[in-house]
Amino acid sequence: MAYNLKKELSKPERFVGGHRLCAGCGAGITCRAMTRALDEGDKAVITNATGCLEVSSFLYPYTAWEDSYIHSAFENASATCGGVEAAYNVLKRKGKVKENYKFLTIGGDGGTYDIGFQSLSGAMERGHDMTYFCYDNEAYMNTGIQRSSSTPRFANATTTPTGSVSLGKKQNKKDLTDIMVAHNLPYVAQTTFINNFRDFHEKAHKAIYTEGPCFVNVMAPCPRGWQYPAHLLPEICKMAVETCVWPLYEVIDGEYILNYEPRKKLPVTEFMKLQGRFKHCFKPGNEWTIKEAQQYVDEKWEKLLEKCR
């Protein structure tokens, strides 16, 4: 599919203004890009797990969504979407529904990596024709910035605070993208907001229009949890890619494809220094945290390169 930026931007918005998301939040950008990847004329049913996005985009009877929208609990958004998709197939076979519908689920890392993982895994294993988008902001932001299994090592969170005893979260981030690949899905991708959104749009479109269960993991920074001024959102995403903290790749029928390789891989400090949640790592005596963070990123990057070869 050829990407035409002018054409894509001319599409009517399907995630509209009036929501209450913070300035500099990645969740709203995820929603706009996700829905823009739908072909004009196709309808969608969107299931949303509880979280920042849900409480900010839907306050009954008002909603920022132009498509059919279902607010599910934290733990069952994927099961809800799978049930709707199954009901649609029955109704279409009976001739009661004529229109083409696509089925999308979206949730943060709390509702995806953790609380909603069982539901997600089950829906993917059953083979529902649906696409799950995770807006990964690396903590439970809606309820007070508690750590999740997506929170990276050494990050400051309210349940992994920094101080004289602790230097943030002790465990490394769960690699959910690879876990979803292990479900033998036809399409899995990792992306974020850089350049003209071409990478995001093409992956979202592929996922939505690939038959079967698909998964797209989107790095979606949070200004409050990551502690950065709103205008730094694109720079943080860019540095995540240039340092290989968040590589851009896709897996099509089990085949790994690297979408972008930095000409000069930057040190992880270029990503960390932009965020207040890592500021303790730059204090005298804590240099080892940066060394270990760099080592972890390097190891993950080399493993990914090997898979892509």
Residue range 163-184, pLDDT digits in tens? 989 999 999 999 999 999 999 9
> Mean pLDDT over residues 107-117, rounded?
97
Tokens of 32: 């706009």
> Mean pLDDT over residues 129-151, rounded?
97
Looking at the chain, the whole-number percentage of residues with pLDDT higher than 70 is: 98
Average per-residue pLDDT for the chain: 95
Phi then psi for residue 76, to 5 deg, are: -135, 25
Question: How sure is the predictor about 148, in pLDDT bands with cuts at 50, 70 and 90?
Answer: very high
Q: Is the dihedral of CA 141, 143, 144, 148 positive or negative?
A: negative
Range of the domain at 72: 5-308
In terms of DSSP bridges, do strands 255-258 and 249-252 run parallel, antiparallel, or are they unpaired? antiparallel
Asked if pLDDT for residue 5 goes beyond 80, the answer is: no
pLDDT of residue 6: 79
Instruction: Kindly give the residue spans of alpha helices, DSSP state H, lying in 50-76.
Output: 52-57
> Mean pLDDT over residues 86-115, rounded?
96
pLDDT of residue 9: 78
Q: How many Å apart are CA 309 and CA 182, to the nearest integer?
A: 18
pLDDT of residue 173: 98
Asked if pLDDT for residue 10 goes beyond 90, the answer is: no
> With the CA atoms of 16, 17, 21 and 23 taken in that order, what torsion angle do they form, in degrees rounded to the nearest 10?
120
> Mean pLDDT over residues 148-163, rounded?
97
Asked if pLDDT for residue 190 goes beyond 70, the answer is: yes
Query: What is the pTM for the complete model shown?
Result: 0.96
Question: How sure is the predictor about 2, in pLDDT bands with cuts at 50, 70 and 90?
Answer: low
> Mean pLDDT over residues 118-128, rounded?
98
Q: Give the domain CATH number at 12.
A: 3.40.50.970
List of long-range contacts for 165-170, beta carbons under 8 Å, 24+ apart: 167/280, 167/281, 167/286, 167/289, 168/277, 168/278, 168/280, 168/281
Asked if pLDDT for residue 121 goes beyond 80, the answer is: yes
The structural domain count of the chain equals: 1
Question: How sure is the predictor about 60, in pLDDT bands with cuts at 50, 70 and 90?
Answer: confident
Residue range 274-297, pLDDT digits in tens? 999 999 999 999 999 999 999 999
